[in-house]
Amino acid sequence: MSNIFDRIDARLATTLTPSRRLMLQRPRTLVLGFLGLHTVFLFALLPTILTGGVLGDLPLYRTWAELGLEHGVWQGIDTEWVYPIGAMLPIALAGIAGPCSTNCSGF
């Protein structure tokens, strides 16, 4: 495995000339690289995002709010919870608007 890294290091040493290294250290290059990488990821994930396949933590928060508002079981008070107890406030405030009616999986 070390041999592979040695080859990569040698290749980078010959490819990254001092002028190229200076170019990579500029803030503009960092910003452009950041934006480019995130654009690639956005376009790669866009089909999944648009079809509602990306849920994240939102269904979990919805369940916590419903448990507290409808059943009186509050996370962090009645059960163990790893978040700060103050984090339940925005979750409960969002739950006051009511349960999700039809399409709860996305937009």
pLDDT tens digits for range 16-47: 888 888 888 899 999 999 999 999 999 999 99
Is 81 within 8 Å of 75 (Cβ atoms)?
yes
Is 92 within 8 Å of 68 (Cβ atoms)?
yes
pLDDT at 67: 85
pLDDT tens digits for range 54-105: 777 777 777 888 888 888 888 888 888 777 778 888 878 877 776 665 555 5
pLDDT at 101: 58
